[in-house]
Structure 1
Amino acid sequence: MAVVSTDKWLNEFISARKSTGKDELTSLQCSILCDRLVNLFRDGLPEEIHYTLQQQGLFLPHEEVDVEKLKKHNVWDCVQQEFLYLQRKWNGPSIPIYIFPITQQQTMTNKNGVAYPHSLFLFVGDLEKQELQALLAHEYNHVCRIHILRKTLEDMTLLDSLILEGLAEDVVKELYGEKWIAPWIQSYSDKELLALWETHFLPNLQLQGIEQHGPFLYGGDLPPWIGYCIGYKIVQSYKINHSYHHPLFISSQDLLVGSNFPLQ
């Protein structure tokens, strides 16, 4: 299925917005964009889907968006072509990919993505071609990994989530170079990572439910993005120890066992 023509949805919204009052813009955006996604989310309410997408980076209803500029930069075509390449490379599933402008309130980055077992969403601003390709690869690698694990998001363990993020950053580095990997990778020394691993991560590796893993991945009481960094270092050390360059199909436990992170 691959890339959905959300540019047409966006033009429909922009056209309808001209004759809509400010207090009705949220309902209009929800109707035009999210009514089309109800079946994708197991008949979830459009309002719930809308809220979720806004949390992930969807542009706000009153914000100006330049669809033609995105089309001029071949955003939809670029993602489609790169998806076909990655699908062949990883023997991955065919899923719908939805592309929307990112909110202007997101000042730290001009991109974000979210992967589900059944679909993928990209929220983008003004990106270089390779940056867009790297964003897609990171998120589509998640989709492939989830299908390989054959687990629901509720059944995934903290270890699975760490490896999920580590693998995605590893492929970005492999395919597009270090320029596009996340900056937090170099934020912590190996000594710092191992200390936090032993005190906070090791006792919780079997914690199930991807929604429970946020504090370990993003930080809060823990340092920012610490789980992402640990996952990346697990994958990298496994590859160095085993001279293996395709860890996508290896189990989370085997990747950990072959890494430099102790099991006890």
Structure 2
Amino acid sequence: MNNFEVKLVDSLSFYERCLHSQVDENSFRYEIMQPFEEMWRYLSVPLVPKTPGGYDVVMASEMLGIWTPRKEIELIKSKVTSLKDTNIFRQYNQVINESVQLFNDIGYDIPVNEFRLNILLGDSENNILMASEGYSGFGGIPGYILLIVVPNAFNRTRLKSALAHEFNHNVRFTYEPFNHGDVSVEDYLVIEGLAEVFAETLYGVEQRGPWVQEYDQEELEYTIEVMKSGREARGFDQVSAYMYGDEVAREQGYQPVGLSRNAGYTIGYHLVKDYLKNTGETIAQATLTPSRTLVEESRIFD
């Protein structure tokens, strides 16, 4: 059960070369991102721009908060060793094996033969990335995981948890595929709640990401009511406003809806915790449960 291969892109060697030689955007394109070409194709991002200066994998990476050689080398000069020292390059197999074990325990054979992992230095000038304590990830396409990190004291111990979070996305989307163009607020609450509770199950609440906020009871109840009224909204502009809160919505040009930072992640986390408490299921079982069932049996919007 669950026989697969994990392929890690050798980003560390690339970054070390960046410090000692001239490395251009084509090196980044072909050495770092070409192994993820199938993922980018699924997201309609070309490896090479169709017109000079056009949209491509380098531009898309920068939009995600990933450092590329088009940016100043000074931004990563002190970060390469720090990234290596987080130990995630030695621990990633352990994280994936521990994550898989939770699905082995319930007899789920994950329909993926190969997982590709890319651990990347983030752009410290990207305000949205830095607002989440300098790290984030992407696991929206089964078989492909990105971790984006500007190493610091907060996130250096939380990268195992971040990887488990993204791995949960990979598995969830083998069960209930993510419709990027038509995802609802309710769907997104479930997706992010599952991933963060999954990571917490493996590595403890102290390793929880900054995207789950500590609300007092009054703000929690208010936020749940806003989510309740908007949970059927669809489209990434609508979803982003609910998930990330007003500050990020304004920065990205979306219409604010009256929410604090990372409100959707916080409510999603409580939704899944309530579901597990009410049903007695494991987080792996919940990961393979329809979104509507999770919402209804959490009773968070009752």
TM range (shorter): 0.7 to 0.9
For the 8 Å contact 1:13–1:29, the answer to whether it is kept is: no
What code does the residue aligned with 1:101 have? L
Listed as ranges, the matches of 1:174-185 within 5 Å are 174-183=201-210, 185=212
Listed as ranges, the matches of 1:1-264 within 5 Å are 1-2=5-6, 3-17=8-22, 25=24, 29-30=28-29, 32-42=31-41, 44-46=46-48, 47-61=55-69, 62=72, 63-65=75-77, 67=80, 70-71=83-84, 73-90=86-103, 91-92=109-110, 93=112, 94-105=114-125, 107-108=130-131, 109-118=133-142, 119-124=144-149, 125-126=151-152, 130-183=157-210, 185-198=212-225, 200-210=226-236, 212-220=238-246, 221=256, 222-246=259-283, 247-263=286-302
Residue-pair matches, total: 256
Q: Structure 1: which 5+ residue stretches go unaligned?
A: none
Give the whole-Å Cα distance in 2 for the aligned partners of 1:150 and 1:107: 29
Range with greater deviation from structure 2 (71-80 or 48-57): 71-80
Give the whole-Å Cα distance in 2 for the aligned partners of 1:184 and 1:74: 23
Give the whole-Å Cα distance in 2 for the aligned partners of 1:150 and 1:159: 15
TM-score normalised to structure 2 length: 0.72
Q: Deviation at 1:122?
A: 0.6
RMSD, aligned CA: 2.9
Residues 161-193 of structure 1: CA deviation (Å, up to 9, x unaligned): 001111112122221111111345453234433
Q: Structure 2: which 5+ residue stretches go unaligned?
A: 49-54, 104-108, 247-255
| 1:190–1:147 Cα change, 3 Å | farther
For the 8 Å contact 2:88–2:160, the answer to whether it is kept is: no
Q: Deviation at 1:196?
A: 3.5
Secondary structure in structure 1 of the residue aligned to 2:117? strand
Residues 98-136 of structure 1: CA deviation (Å, up to 9, x unaligned): 111222335552322122214111122257775121010
TM-score normalised to structure 1 length: 0.81
Give the equivalent residue in structure 1 for 2:250: none
What code does the residue aligned with 1:52 have? A
Using the aligned pairs only, state the percent identity: 22
Structure with bigger helix share is 1
Give the whole-Å Cα distance in 2 for the aligned partners of 1:183 and 1:129: 13
Q: Deviation at 1:74?
A: 3.7
For the 8 Å contact 1:130–1:176, the answer to whether it is kept is: no
For the 8 Å contact 1:13–1:32, the answer to whether it is kept is: no
Q: Deviation at 1:97?
A: 1.0
